[in-house]
A = this chain, B = another copy of it.
Amino acid sequence: MVGIDPRLGLLPDVFQKEVNPADFQAVAQAFQDFSLAILDIVAPYAACVKPQLAFFEAVGPAGMHALGRVIRHARKLGLPVVLDGKRNDIGSTAKGYAAAYLGETSAWGGDALTVSPYLGDDSLQPFVDTAVEKDAGIFVLVKTSNPGGGMLQDLNADGRTLFQHVADWVEKTSANLAGSEKYGPVGAVVGATYPEQLAQLRQRMPHAWLLVPGYGAQGGTAEDVRSAFDADGLGAVVNSSRGILFAHSRKEYAGMPWEKAVEQAILDMKNQFAFAFG
Interface residue SS majority, chain A: helix
Q: Contacts A87-B86, A107-B60, A155-B162; is A123 near B100 (CB within 8 Å)?
A: no
Complex interface: chain B residues within 8 A of A54 (CB): 87, 89, 93-94, 96-97, 100
Contact of A88 among B7, B116, B120 (CB under 8 A): B116
Chain A: number of interface residues, binned into ranges: 35 or more
Copies held by the complex: 2
Cβ–Cβ contact A155 & B153, under 8 A: no
Q: Contacts A55-B93, A93-B5, A100-B54; is A117 near B148 (CB within 8 Å)?
A: no
The CA of A121 and the CA of B153, in the complex, are separated in Å by 11
The CA of A223 and the CA of B169, in the complex, are separated in Å by 36
Contact of A119 among B58, B65, B144 (CB under 8 A): B144
A residues lining the B interface (CB < 8 Å):
5, 7, 24, 52, 54-55, 57-61, 63-65, 67-68, 84, 86-94, 96-97, 99-101, 107-108, 116-123, 141, 144-153, 155-158, 162, 165-166, 169
Shortest beta-carbon contacts, A-B, top 6:
A122-B148, A60-B107, A120-B148, A120-B151, A155-B157, A54-B96
